[in-house]
Amino acid sequence: MKKALWAASVAALLLGLAGCSLNDNTAIPAFPESPSASVSAETPTTGGSPSPEEQPPETGTGDGAQEPSGSPEQSPPASASPSASSGGAESTGGSLSPGDKLLKSDGIGNIRIGMTEDALVGIIGEPISTTMPSVWGSDDLVHSEWNYEPMGIIINMAQQPDSDEFTVFSIKVMAPCSLKTSRGIAIGDSKAAVLEAYGDEYNAEESDDNALVLGSVYGGMVITVDDEDKVVEIFIGSAAE
Protein backbone atom coordinates (compact mmCIF):
# COMPACT_ATOMS: atom_id res chain seq x y z
CA MET A 1 0.00 0.00 0.00
CA LYS A 2 2.83 2.42 0.88
CA LYS A 3 4.61 1.49 -2.31
CA ALA A 4 1.49 2.22 -4.31
CA LEU A 5 1.12 5.67 -2.70
CA TRP A 6 4.82 6.53 -3.27
CA ALA A 7 4.50 5.50 -6.91
CA ALA A 8 1.39 7.63 -7.33
CA SER A 9 3.16 10.63 -5.77
CA VAL A 10 6.12 10.32 -8.15
CA ALA A 11 3.77 10.00 -11.11
CA ALA A 12 1.86 13.10 -10.02
CA LEU A 13 5.15 15.08 -9.69
CA LEU A 14 6.27 14.08 -13.17
CA LEU A 15 2.92 15.07 -14.66
CA GLY A 16 3.14 18.45 -12.95
CA LEU A 17 6.59 19.13 -14.39
CA ALA A 18 5.51 18.10 -17.86
CA GLY A 19 2.53 20.37 -17.69
CA CYS A 20 4.69 23.30 -16.64
CA SER A 21 7.05 22.89 -19.64
CA LEU A 22 4.16 22.53 -22.10
CA ASN A 23 2.08 25.47 -20.84
CA ASP A 24 4.96 27.88 -20.08
CA ASN A 25 6.65 29.55 -23.14
CA THR A 26 9.87 30.07 -21.17
CA ALA A 27 12.47 27.66 -22.49
CA ILE A 28 14.67 25.90 -20.09
CA PRO A 29 18.03 27.69 -20.37
CA ALA A 30 20.79 25.75 -22.07
CA PHE A 31 23.94 24.92 -20.29
CA PRO A 32 26.16 28.04 -20.49
CA GLU A 33 29.36 27.93 -22.58
CA SER A 34 32.74 28.24 -21.01
CA PRO A 35 33.75 31.92 -20.57
CA SER A 36 37.24 31.23 -21.87
CA ALA A 37 35.91 29.68 -25.09
CA SER A 38 33.61 32.67 -25.69
CA VAL A 39 36.43 35.18 -25.34
CA SER A 40 38.77 33.34 -27.66
CA ALA A 41 36.09 33.00 -30.34
CA GLU A 42 34.56 36.50 -30.28
CA THR A 43 37.01 38.96 -28.75
CA PRO A 44 39.29 40.56 -31.43
CA THR A 45 43.00 40.72 -30.71
CA THR A 46 44.16 44.26 -29.89
CA GLY A 47 47.63 45.87 -29.92
CA GLY A 48 50.89 44.56 -31.43
CA SER A 49 51.73 43.81 -35.05
CA PRO A 50 49.75 41.42 -37.21
CA SER A 51 51.22 38.02 -37.76
CA PRO A 52 53.32 37.46 -40.89
CA GLU A 53 50.37 35.68 -42.53
CA GLU A 54 48.15 38.78 -42.04
CA GLN A 55 50.70 41.38 -43.31
CA PRO A 56 50.06 42.54 -46.88
CA PRO A 57 52.98 41.85 -49.25
CA GLU A 58 55.29 44.80 -49.97
CA THR A 59 55.07 45.84 -53.57
CA GLY A 60 58.15 48.09 -53.58
CA THR A 61 56.19 50.97 -55.14
CA GLY A 62 55.16 54.31 -53.76
CA ASP A 63 57.11 57.00 -51.96
CA GLY A 64 57.25 55.17 -48.66
CA ALA A 65 58.16 51.74 -50.02
CA GLN A 66 61.04 50.01 -48.32
CA GLU A 67 63.29 47.36 -49.71
CA PRO A 68 63.21 44.04 -47.89
CA SER A 69 65.90 43.78 -45.28
CA GLY A 70 69.00 41.94 -46.39
CA SER A 71 68.56 42.96 -50.06
CA PRO A 72 72.06 43.27 -51.60
CA GLU A 73 73.11 46.67 -52.89
CA GLN A 74 73.61 46.81 -56.62
CA SER A 75 76.87 48.34 -57.88
CA PRO A 76 76.75 50.68 -60.90
CA PRO A 77 77.77 49.06 -64.18
CA ALA A 78 81.41 49.32 -65.14
CA SER A 79 80.49 51.42 -68.17
CA ALA A 80 79.23 54.20 -65.82
CA SER A 81 82.63 54.64 -64.33
CA PRO A 82 84.13 57.98 -65.30
CA SER A 83 87.46 56.25 -65.87
CA ALA A 84 85.85 54.14 -68.63
CA SER A 85 84.67 56.96 -70.49
CA SER A 86 86.45 56.46 -73.52
CA GLY A 87 88.33 58.49 -74.71
CA GLY A 88 87.51 61.38 -74.95
CA ALA A 89 88.81 64.48 -75.34
CA GLU A 90 90.41 62.14 -72.91
CA SER A 91 91.42 59.90 -76.04
CA THR A 92 94.31 61.52 -77.98
CA GLY A 93 94.59 58.97 -80.81
CA GLY A 94 93.12 61.45 -83.35
CA SER A 95 94.99 64.60 -82.16
CA LEU A 96 98.28 65.85 -83.62
CA SER A 97 101.41 66.56 -81.61
CA PRO A 98 102.95 70.06 -81.84
CA GLY A 99 105.67 68.65 -84.08
CA ASP A 100 103.20 66.99 -86.45
CA LYS A 101 101.23 70.23 -86.66
CA LEU A 102 104.40 72.06 -87.69
CA LEU A 103 105.14 69.46 -90.36
CA LYS A 104 101.67 69.93 -91.82
CA SER A 105 101.46 73.71 -91.58
CA ASP A 106 104.97 75.15 -91.75
CA GLY A 107 107.67 75.28 -94.39
CA ILE A 108 110.43 77.38 -95.93
CA GLY A 109 109.09 79.87 -98.45
CA ASN A 110 106.68 77.83 -100.60
CA ILE A 111 108.43 74.52 -99.93
CA ARG A 112 106.35 72.11 -97.85
CA ILE A 113 106.78 68.60 -96.44
CA GLY A 114 105.07 66.05 -98.73
CA MET A 115 105.36 68.20 -101.84
CA THR A 116 105.85 66.20 -105.05
CA GLU A 117 109.08 66.40 -107.03
CA ASP A 118 107.31 68.08 -109.93
CA ALA A 119 105.92 70.76 -107.62
CA LEU A 120 109.34 71.29 -106.01
CA VAL A 121 111.06 71.66 -109.38
CA GLY A 122 108.36 74.09 -110.41
CA ILE A 123 109.29 76.35 -107.43
CA ILE A 124 113.11 76.21 -107.21
CA GLY A 125 114.12 74.35 -110.38
CA GLU A 126 116.24 71.24 -110.88
CA PRO A 127 118.86 70.38 -108.23
CA ILE A 128 122.52 70.68 -109.14
CA SER A 129 123.07 67.12 -107.91
CA THR A 130 121.22 64.18 -106.33
CA THR A 131 122.43 61.17 -104.40
CA MET A 132 121.82 57.60 -105.49
CA PRO A 133 118.46 56.43 -104.11
CA SER A 134 118.88 54.05 -101.17
CA VAL A 135 116.68 52.39 -98.57
CA TRP A 136 116.93 53.72 -95.02
CA GLY A 137 116.68 51.04 -92.37
CA SER A 138 114.89 53.43 -90.01
CA ASP A 139 111.74 53.70 -92.14
CA ASP A 140 112.27 51.28 -95.07
CA LEU A 141 111.73 54.12 -97.55
CA VAL A 142 113.87 54.92 -100.56
CA HIS A 143 115.65 58.27 -100.02
CA SER A 144 117.61 60.62 -102.24
CA GLU A 145 119.16 63.97 -101.32
CA TRP A 146 118.63 66.85 -103.71
CA ASN A 147 121.33 69.48 -103.53
CA TYR A 148 120.57 73.17 -104.09
CA GLU A 149 123.78 74.30 -102.34
CA PRO A 150 124.21 77.58 -104.27
CA MET A 151 120.77 78.57 -102.90
CA GLY A 152 121.57 77.27 -99.41
CA ILE A 153 118.90 74.54 -99.64
CA ILE A 154 119.15 70.75 -99.16
CA ILE A 155 116.03 68.68 -99.74
CA ASN A 156 115.69 65.02 -98.78
CA MET A 157 113.24 63.23 -101.02
CA ALA A 158 111.57 59.91 -100.15
CA GLN A 159 109.65 57.42 -102.25
CA GLN A 160 106.51 56.09 -100.62
CA PRO A 161 105.86 52.30 -100.82
CA ASP A 162 102.65 52.73 -102.79
CA SER A 163 104.03 55.24 -105.28
CA ASP A 164 106.85 55.59 -107.82
CA GLU A 165 107.06 59.32 -107.15
CA PHE A 166 109.40 61.04 -104.68
CA THR A 167 108.06 63.63 -102.25
CA VAL A 168 109.73 66.12 -99.90
CA PHE A 169 110.75 64.33 -96.68
CA SER A 170 112.83 67.06 -94.99
CA ILE A 171 114.01 70.62 -95.67
CA LYS A 172 117.28 72.19 -94.54
CA VAL A 173 118.36 75.76 -95.28
CA MET A 174 121.44 77.80 -94.44
CA ALA A 175 123.17 80.90 -95.82
CA PRO A 176 122.75 82.35 -98.37
CA CYS A 177 119.06 81.24 -98.28
CA SER A 178 116.79 84.16 -97.50
CA LEU A 179 113.50 82.24 -97.45
CA LYS A 180 111.46 82.49 -94.27
CA THR A 181 109.34 80.04 -92.30
CA SER A 182 105.58 80.51 -92.18
CA ARG A 183 106.06 82.51 -88.96
CA GLY A 184 108.71 84.80 -90.39
CA ILE A 185 111.98 83.25 -89.11
CA ALA A 186 114.98 83.34 -91.48
CA ILE A 187 118.73 82.82 -91.40
CA GLY A 188 120.36 85.57 -89.30
CA ASP A 189 117.39 86.10 -86.93
CA SER A 190 117.90 86.03 -83.16
CA LYS A 191 117.24 83.19 -80.76
CA ALA A 192 114.78 85.45 -78.94
CA ALA A 193 112.82 85.96 -82.15
CA VAL A 194 112.58 82.18 -82.61
CA LEU A 195 111.25 81.65 -79.07
CA GLU A 196 108.75 84.46 -79.52
CA ALA A 197 107.42 82.94 -82.75
CA TYR A 198 107.49 79.29 -81.62
CA GLY A 199 107.25 79.48 -77.84
CA ASP A 200 104.26 77.11 -77.67
CA GLU A 201 106.14 74.41 -79.62
CA TYR A 202 109.53 74.87 -77.89
CA ASN A 203 110.79 71.59 -76.41
CA ALA A 204 113.21 72.50 -73.62
CA GLU A 205 114.02 68.88 -72.75
CA GLU A 206 115.35 68.07 -76.22
CA SER A 207 116.97 71.46 -76.83
CA ASP A 208 120.42 72.75 -75.89
CA ASP A 209 122.22 76.10 -76.09
CA ASN A 210 122.71 75.90 -79.86
CA ALA A 211 119.80 73.73 -81.06
CA LEU A 212 116.22 74.84 -80.45
CA VAL A 213 113.86 71.89 -80.89
CA LEU A 214 110.32 72.87 -81.82
CA GLY A 215 107.95 69.94 -81.42
CA SER A 216 110.32 66.96 -81.29
CA VAL A 217 113.44 65.62 -82.99
CA TYR A 218 111.16 62.83 -84.23
CA GLY A 219 109.04 65.37 -86.09
CA GLY A 220 109.06 69.17 -86.10
CA MET A 221 111.72 71.83 -86.49
CA VAL A 222 115.31 72.19 -85.30
CA ILE A 223 116.77 75.68 -85.48
CA THR A 224 120.52 76.00 -84.94
CA VAL A 225 122.02 79.20 -83.54
CA ASP A 226 125.65 80.24 -83.22
CA ASP A 227 127.47 81.56 -80.17
CA GLU A 228 125.94 84.97 -80.79
CA ASP A 229 122.42 83.43 -80.72
CA LYS A 230 121.90 84.03 -84.44
CA VAL A 231 120.06 81.49 -86.61
CA VAL A 232 122.49 79.68 -88.92
CA GLU A 233 120.38 76.68 -89.98
CA ILE A 234 116.70 75.74 -90.13
CA PHE A 235 115.63 72.12 -90.44
CA ILE A 236 112.05 70.88 -90.91
CA GLY A 237 111.27 67.17 -90.77
CA SER A 238 112.35 64.17 -88.73
CA ALA A 239 115.87 64.47 -87.34
CA ALA A 240 115.75 61.09 -85.56
CA GLU A 241 113.94 57.76 -85.92
Considering the domain boundaries, does residue 202 fall inside one? yes
pLDDT category at 218 given cuts 50, 70, 90 is very high
Q: How many angstroms separate the CA atoms of 110 and 217, rounded?
A: 22
Q: Is residue 36 part of a domain?
A: no
pLDDT at 148 over 80: yes
What is the band of 7 on the pLDDT scale with cuts at 50, 70, 90?
low
61 within domain boundaries: no
For residue 140, tell me if it sits in a domain.
yes
3 exposure class (CB count in 10 Å sphere: 0-12, 13-18, 19+): exposed
Cβ atoms < 10 Å from Cβ of 133: 14
**9 part of a folded domain:** no
Give the Å distances, CA to CA, from 19 to 5, 10, 135, 156, 158.
21, 14, 144, 146, 142
pLDDT of res. 52: 47
pLDDT above 70 (res 229): yes
pLDDT for position 138 = 84
The pLDDT assigned to 153 comes to 98
Q: Evaluate whether residue 110 is within a structural domain.
A: yes
Give domain status of residue 80, yes or no: no
Q: What is the mean pLDDT of the chain?
A: 75
107 has which bridge partners?
A: 112
Residue numbers of the domain that contains 203: 98-237
Measured between alpha carbons, how far is 125 from 108 in angstroms, rounded to an integer? 15
pLDDT digits (tens, 9 = 90+) for 21-80: 444 444 444 444 444 444 444 444 444 555 545 555 554 444 444 444 444 444 443 333
pLDDT at residue number 239: 82
Q: How many domains does the chain have?
A: 1
Residue 204, CA distances (Å) to 194, 198, 208, 213 in order: 13, 12, 8, 7
Burial of 130 (0-12, 13-18, 19+ CB in 10 A): middle
φ, ψ (nearest 5 deg) of residue 20: -65, -45
Q: What percent of the chain has pLDDT over 90?
A: 53
pLDDT of residue 160: 79
Contacts of 165 (CB under 8 A, 6+ apart): 116, 117, 159
Residue 163 above 80 pLDDT? yes
Least confident residue range of 37-46, 152-161, 214-223: 37-46
| Per-residue pLDDT reduced to its tens digit, 77-129 | 333 333 333 333 333 445 888 889 999 999 999 999 999 999 999 999 999 99
190 occurs within a structural domain: yes
State the DSSP H helix or E strand holding residue 117, giving kind and residue range, or none if neither: helix 117-124
Least confident range of 85-94, 111-120, 161-170, 201-210: 85-94
